[in-house]
Amino acid sequence: MSRQSLLGIRVPYAAERTKCASRSIRAPSPCAGLGISAAFISVFALFILPCAHAAEPNESDVEQGREVYGELCASCHGRDLVNPGGLTFDLRKFPPDQFERFRTVVLNGKPPGMPPWRDKVSDEDVKLLWDYVRSGG
């Protein structure tokens, strides 16, 4: 048993059985390829999209990020990203592929030592800071 598609092509039902080499097999489901498509989309979302911001920062953005860092961050995180010790995180060790994590911490803070900066920095400032942090100081 089969059905006709809009183009007149014979499309077997998923449960249709066919005799092949004296054994019964199931005809492939018309949706069988969707698992591969879903897997591709998942891989794309997990690995390709985060890399969109992973391109190497240009020198101008790094320099602007250094200025923002000097004004807002150096007093706690140290000059040129060199941690003075204490509660503050050593930003030289921040994973370079985790921009969203960095952005969340900058904007929302992280107890006990990192205050939220949401009302004090723009999205552009966060991106510039990220470029500077990724540069390694």
Predicted pLDDT at 49: 43
Vertex 85 angle, CA 81 and 91, to 5°: 30
pLDDT confidence tier of residue 128, bands split at 50, 70 and 90: very high
Residue 18 to residue 25: CA distance in whole angstroms: 6
Write down all domains in the chain, each with its CATH number in brackets: 14-52 (no CATH), 58-135 (1.10.760.10)
Residue 116 to residue 97: CA distance in whole angstroms: 22
pLDDT tens digits for range 98-108:
999 999 999 99
Mean model confidence pLDDT for the chain: 77
Vertex 8 angle, CA 13 and 37, to 5°: 55
Residue 6 to residue 132: CA distance in whole angstroms: 57
Predicted pLDDT at 125: 97
Reduced to 3 states (helix: H, G, I; strand: E, B; else coil), residue 82 is coil
Predicted pLDDT at 114: 92
Predicted pLDDT at 55: 74
Nearest to 131 by CA among 88, 102, 90: 102
Mean pLDDT of 19-35: 51
Q: Is 54 exposed, middle or buried (0-12, 13-18, 19+ CB in 10 A)?
A: middle
Residue 47 has pLDDT above 70, yes or no: no
Predicted pLDDT at 16: 47
